[in-house]
Structure 1
Amino acid sequence: MKLQTGLTQEQNLQLNITQELLQAISLLQYTSLELASFLEEKAEENPLLNVDIHFFRTTDPHAKKWNRYRNYEKSGPPVADIEQIPFPGSCSLADYLKTQSLLLPLDGEERKALDYFILNLDGNGYLSVDVEEACRQIGVSKEAGERALAALQRLDPPGVGARSLQECLLLQLERSPGDNALAITVIKDYFQPFVNRKWREISRKLNVSAAEIQKVMDGVQKLNPKPGAAFLQERPHYIIPDFIVKYNDGKWEIEIAEANLIDVKLNRDYVEVFRGNPDPAMKAYFREKMQQYRWLQKSLAQRRETMMKIIGELVKLQEKFFLGEKNQLRPMTMKELAERAGVHESTVSRVVKNKYVRAPGGTFALKDLFSAKLAKNREEISAQQIKSELRAIIDREDKRRPLSDQEIAEIFQKKGISVSRRTIAKYREQIGIPSSNKRRRFGAE
């Protein structure tokens, strides 16, 4: 075999992802807050970049309007409305209990045990330590510990200091007004059969009707299984719409929230400083930072153009839903929306990720607007519409003889909607509706 060297030419096509292209792709998946954080980081790296971010106004009418960097008068730039869930309580569960315990006639050992128990309650208000073991650790008698526990369980909220769900319910029933003798007996002596809904078995043993056991369940469901949860000091959760859709005079108007909330400008002061510097290294640095600024501006413009295109097609597809007709969410996949918008499916996925839209019909997560398609005669129906109809069917059923999943599937078949029993079961669980045997009620409604 003869080996030789030489020069040849060949053509090939390959995709090289530059840093700028990667940046443009990444920007699509940022929410307004994430974009603001990203731009602040870029501004720290690039002195030519001036980022002005207007903070968001809560829906609280007493909240003040203010800017990230400076205050604005009434004529200042707009700020975005957000929905806020405030803190659930003004003090911790431990502080609330200690305040109440100051009025209790306790001796030294009892108060020591009570303080220790309070510090060992979990987030739901349950005692997380063994009483006997705790008494040994803190050096008090078991009897003092038992008295301290009884004192703790008499404090508010009712059920606090329980060591199990069963004990928590019993503590609340014992303090509830009215005749709760049957409920206390059921929870105390037949707790497991009761939660497993073996009501006929309990009714035979207690010589009462199943309808009376049903009433016990109705009463128990009004109790609080987590009495301490309301005192958890969680941070407030905010929903910030990334898109605002309005309907005026028969036309849709779409706004991208960040357009009015984030200003990215060139820092003219630094530009003049760099231009007047004869140092070659400084000139090269200036060219690099200027190129970064231009690429960022181009990426932001491309981001907004792509988002407007996708949201525009989304509004056309879901017009009735955006107007408030919640049952009119038509079936739609990301692939279908991508084809209508003329982009790749992955682009749609990035645009809708963790973003919200505010429309006349409410504020929605974009990902919730996509739904699988099912057949209805020759038309298509969304999974969301199936769930809505499923809930309506179950609401109308005879609770003494609730419909099975198969019977519900047959009702859909009669309506011309092809849906299997397994699909009915899956959708029923997704919307939080129990199975037929757990929906069954005894006696007249």
Structure 2
Amino acid sequence: MAQRLEVSQTQRQTLKLTQSMQQSLLILQKNAVELDEYLKEQCDINPLLEVRSNFEKNEADFSRISNNTHFDLYTSLNEQIADRKLTARQQKILKKLVCNVDSNGYLHIDHGAFCSENELSTEELCRSISILQTMEPLGVGAESIRQCLLIQADADRKAPVKTSVLIKEHYHQFLNQDWSRLKIELSISQPELNTIINYLATLSLRPGNPDGEQVRQIVPDLIFSTFAGHSELRINVAGDFQLAFDDSSVKGMNEQIDQATLAYISRGKRDVRELQDALVQRRETLLSLGEQIVKRQFDYLCGKQDYVDRFTMTELANKLHIDVSTVSRGLAGKYIRTDHGIIALTNLCSGRTAELNEVTLGHVEQLVRQIVDDEDKHHPLSDAKIQARLAAEGNAVSRRLVTKIRSKLGIKSSTRRKTT
């Protein structure tokens, strides 16, 4: 069989990203915490790079959030504060107390110093702490494990008789497992004591972190605030970085610098410029994305409505005339701080590109009913967890709306739904 050699020519269009373009995309995808780590690594690689930021200085202002996306303690507490009929002063005090609650839900303050700093009386502080301790999840705001257990037991009508008395008056005997003395002091039988002990084992020692997840700190990239009828969206200065070329090591050199050193300095300057350009582009992209999201979700962010409007990444990309992958990178892992709490940008702009049904109250009511019907009756879901379940199914609503729906449906709170 004869063999033939043929030569053919085809034309194919490909897109190759330059190193600077790749770096810009990488930087856009990082949130403020990740960007801080990345820039520190770049400083190690390029000694001529100097990073200036307020990242460390504003550490006390960072907002904390659990790695577990199903529960956000700090947003939940702030929403509950907003829901209560409190004076502006009471709300202000409670929000400051929330800032001193650790990831497990415990309050850590020096009462005297806190009163002095905030011009409070001891009685006013105690009243505020008492209000905090009535919030969900029960046990939050406690200043000790003992108090945490007592808060939960006092709120539970089905708690075994004398459980609260044991915690209040005989806690140390309980810790020392002095069962004989406990039976005498409480005038109860061994089976009754066993019932109390088994009940205490069901209470949470970490009410703020019910699933035992590690808690990390985040820095919202955007801040949206309203005041006196005006609104403002801005980049969070705590996560905004400024770069400079550090030539201090070069200044001391002799004017006669060899070519290799000159080339090294030139590359260092070029790398700094490229990083600067990437940071500027990241800042502009985040603001553009944020402006469109705030425009669409304005009523939700201002607390005027309890659900987010339908808004897909594709719609957002079309409005800004950019690729949807750029939108995805820009929103991933980013948060916006509002007057009503901290919200993930992805919760305000769905990643779905298919047809979505608009969130309606009737639909959400059905979902809430179904979630409660399917829950573990021994470990019922709090309103914050129901909210998270709804969000996971693409129905982003506020915890406040969940509470209203639950009350409308005649569903009791999680503590009253619990069965032993």
3-state SS in 1 of match to 2:17: coil
2:184 & 2:304 partners in 1: Cα distance? 45
Query: Offset at 1:264?
Result: 1.2
Aligned with residue 312 of structure 1, among 281, 291, 311: 291
Query: Offset at 1:36?
Result: 1.1
Sort the Cα spacing of 1:158 and 1:278 in 2 relative to 1 into closer, same or farther, 3 A.
same
Query: Offset at 1:294?
Result: 1.2
Match of 1:241 in 2: 220
Q: Is the 8 A contact 2:223 2:235 kept in 1?
A: yes
Query: 1:100-119 counterparts in 2 under 5 A?
Result: none
Q: Is the 8 A contact 1:318 1:330 kept in 2?
A: yes
Identity of counterpart residues, as a percentage? 24
Match of 1:359 in 2: 338
Query: Offset at 1:362?
Result: 2.0
Match of 2:60 in 1: 58
> Which amino acid letter does the alignment assign opposite residue 60 of structure 2?
T
Query: Offset at 1:291?
Result: 1.4
3-state SS in 2 of match to 1:300: helix
Could you give the per-residue CA deviations for residues 44-66 of structure 1, whole angstroms, max 9, x where no partner exists?
21122111232124259xxxxxx
Match of 1:17 in 2: 17
1:368 & 1:176 partners in 2: Cα distance? 54
1:268 & 1:282 partners in 2: Cα distance? 13
Query: Offset at 1:39?
Result: 0.8
1:403 & 1:294 partners in 2: Cα distance? 58
The answer to whether residue 323 in structure 2 is matched with residue 344 in structure 1 is yes
User: Whose Rg is larger?
Assistant: 1
Match of 1:86 in 2: 102
Aligned with residue 225 of structure 1, among 202, 205, 220: 202
Sort the Cα spacing of 1:340 and 1:226 in 2 relative to 1 into closer, same or farther, 3 A.
same
Q: Is the 8 A contact 1:353 1:367 kept in 2?
A: yes
Q: Is the 8 A contact 1:310 1:337 kept in 2?
A: yes
The answer to whether residue 363 in structure 2 is matched with residue 382 in structure 1 is no
Query: Offset at 1:371?
Result: 5.2
Deviates more, 1:81-90 or 1:281-290: 81-90
Q: Is the 8 A contact 2:224 2:232 kept in 1?
A: yes
Query: Offset at 1:243?
Result: 0.7
1:246 & 1:281 partners in 2: Cα distance? 52
Sort the Cα spacing of 1:280 and 1:341 in 2 relative to 1 into closer, same or farther, 3 A.
same
2:201 & 2:360 partners in 1: Cα distance? 33
Stretches of structure 2 that go unaligned for 5 or more consecutive residues are 63-95, 108-144, 146-169, 376-389
> Which amino acid letter does the alignment assign opposite residue 361 of structure 1?
H
Could you give the per-residue CA deviations for residues 137-166 of structure 1, whole angstroms, max 9, x where no partner exists?
xxxxxxxxxxxxxxxxx86595898xxxxx
3-state SS in 1 of match to 2:343: strand
3-state SS in 2 of match to 1:254: strand
1:382 & 1:253 partners in 2: Cα distance? 27
Stretches of structure 1 that go unaligned for 5 or more consecutive residues are 61-80, 91-123, 125-153, 162-169, 192-219, 374-378, 396-401, 406-422
1:387 & 1:370 partners in 2: Cα distance? 18
Query: Offset at 1:272?
Result: 4.4
Q: Is the 8 A contact 2:309 2:358 kept in 1?
A: yes
Q: Is the 8 A contact 2:310 2:358 kept in 1?
A: yes
Match of 1:419 in 2: none
Query: Offset at 1:328?
Result: 3.2
Q: Is the 8 A contact 1:321 1:361 kept in 2?
A: no
3-state SS in 1 of match to 2:336: strand
Matched residues, number: 287
Query: Offset at 1:357?
Result: 0.7
> Which amino acid letter does the alignment assign opposite residue 35 of structure 2?
L
3-state SS in 2 of match to 1:58: helix
The answer to whether residue 248 in structure 2 is matched with residue 269 in structure 1 is yes
1:230 & 1:175 partners in 2: Cα distance? 32
> Which amino acid letter does the alignment assign opposite residue 343 of structure 2?
F
Deviates more, 1:176-185 or 1:276-285: 176-185
Query: Offset at 1:314?
Result: 0.5
Query: Offset at 1:186?
Result: 8.6
Sort the Cα spacing of 1:231 and 1:300 in 2 relative to 1 into closer, same or farther, 3 A.
closer
Query: Offset at 1:83?
Result: 5.2
2:249 & 2:233 partners in 1: Cα distance? 36
Query: 1:193-208 counterparts in 2 under 5 A?
Result: none
2:174 & 2:309 partners in 1: Cα distance? 47
Deviates more, 1:358-367 or 1:255-264: 255-264
Q: Is the 8 A contact 1:83 1:240 kept in 2?
A: no
What is the TM-score normalised by the length of structure 2? 0.51
Query: Offset at 1:268?
Result: 3.8
2:351 & 2:363 partners in 1: Cα distance? 10
Could you give the per-residue CA deviations for residues 171-212 of structure 1, whole angstroms, max 9, x where no partner exists?
9x9899799999889999xx9xxxxxxxxxxxxxxxxxxxxx
> Which amino acid letter does the alignment assign opposite residue 102 of structure 2?
P
Query: 1:292-331 counterparts in 2 under 5 A?
Result: 292-325=271-304, 327-331=306-310
Aligned with residue 266 of structure 2, among 287, 312, 318: 287
1:334 & 1:387 partners in 2: Cα distance? 23
Match of 2:35 in 1: 35
3-state SS in 2 of match to 1:343: coil
Q: Is the 8 A contact 2:225 2:338 kept in 1?
A: yes
Sort the Cα spacing of 1:231 and 1:37 in 2 relative to 1 into closer, same or farther, 3 A.
closer
> Which amino acid letter does the alignment assign opposite residue 303 of structure 2?
G
> Which amino acid letter does the alignment assign opposite residue 235 of structure 2?
I
3-state SS in 2 of match to 1:381: coil
* Aligned-residue RMSD, C-alpha: 5.6
Q: Is the 8 A contact 2:224 2:336 kept in 1?
A: yes
Match of 1:69 in 2: none
The answer to whether residue 26 in structure 2 is matched with residue 47 in structure 1 is no
Query: Offset at 1:16?
Result: 1.7
Match of 1:252 in 2: 231
3-state SS in 2 of match to 1:327: coil
2:40 & 2:196 partners in 1: Cα distance? 57
Match of 2:79 in 1: none
What is the TM-score normalised by the length of structure 1? 0.49
Query: Offset at 1:361?
Result: 2.5
1:38 & 1:292 partners in 2: Cα distance? 14
> Which amino acid letter does the alignment assign opposite residue 50 of structure 1?
E
The answer to whether residue 257 in structure 2 is matched with residue 278 in structure 1 is yes
1:251 & 1:372 partners in 2: Cα distance? 30
